Amino acid sequence: MYDFAIAALADKQALYRELDGALDALTADEPDAIANMANAAALLWQYLPDLNWSGFYRAIGETLVLGPFQGKPACIRIPFGSGVCGAAAATRQVQCVADVHAFPGHIACDAASAAELVVPVIHAGRLIAVLDLDSPVAGRFDDADVAGCTMLMKRLAGRIAG
Ligand code: SME
């Protein structure tokens, strides 16, 4: 069992620093990509408030394939360029969407989702996966979440590259 006892910090930068330490502890000695994605998804699910989905899609060819996650069962395959995750994969740019209903082509896996943050995970120039966070709260994600999740995915990238 891991109990990181991370407080619900109002200071997001401090929260992400704590999460970075916890993610490092969870994944540093483990070579298995699935195990590391699973623990990363669970860590974020446990400590980031107001999420209804937290997980990974793996880049396989030009398709994103569902990986380890927490939340409701989700769409399994997303072509690059489709929806928010597909846009992140195609452009390799973070997608921070305040209102998914205004995003062209958004794929509604859970009707409760209102905001979404998708971070590409790149290792040695290769897109490995995308981290997908969904929230029922419109405007849930801000620049601090983008910076924090980008830092976490830099930490994780080499540990899920397989
Ligand atoms: N809404 C995402 C699809 C994945 S689910 O949210 C888990 C999208 O538009 O890419």
Residue 20: is its pLDDT beyond 90? yes
Quote the ligand 1 centre to 29 CA distance (angstroms).
31
Which of 7 and 13 is assigned the larger pLDDT? Answer: 13
Ligand 1 shell residues, CB under 6 Å: 53, 74-75, 78, 83-86, 106-107, 109, 113, 116, 132, 134
Distance separating alpha carbons of residues 131 and 109, to the nearest angstrom: 15
Q: Residue 19 and residue 38: Cα distance in Å, rounded?
A: 15
At residue 9, the pLDDT reads: 65
Considering the entire predicted model, what is its pTM?
0.96
The whole-number average pLDDT for the span 67-80 is 97
Neighbours of 84 (CB within 10 A): 24
Ligand 1 atom index nearest CA of 87: 10
pLDDT tens, position by position, 129-139: 999 999 999 99
Nearest-CA residue for ligand 1 atom 1 is: 107
Say if strands 95-97 and 115-123 run parallel, antiparallel, or are unpaired: antiparallel
Q: What is the pLDDT of residue 125?
A: 97
Element (H, E) at 132: strand 126-135
The pLDDT, as a whole number, for residue 142 is 98
Q: Cα(64) to centroid of ligand 1, in Å?
A: 11
User: What CA–CA distance (Å, rounded) separates 23 from 85?
Assistant: 22
Is residue 5 very low, low, confident or very high in pLDDT (cuts 50, 70, 90)? confident
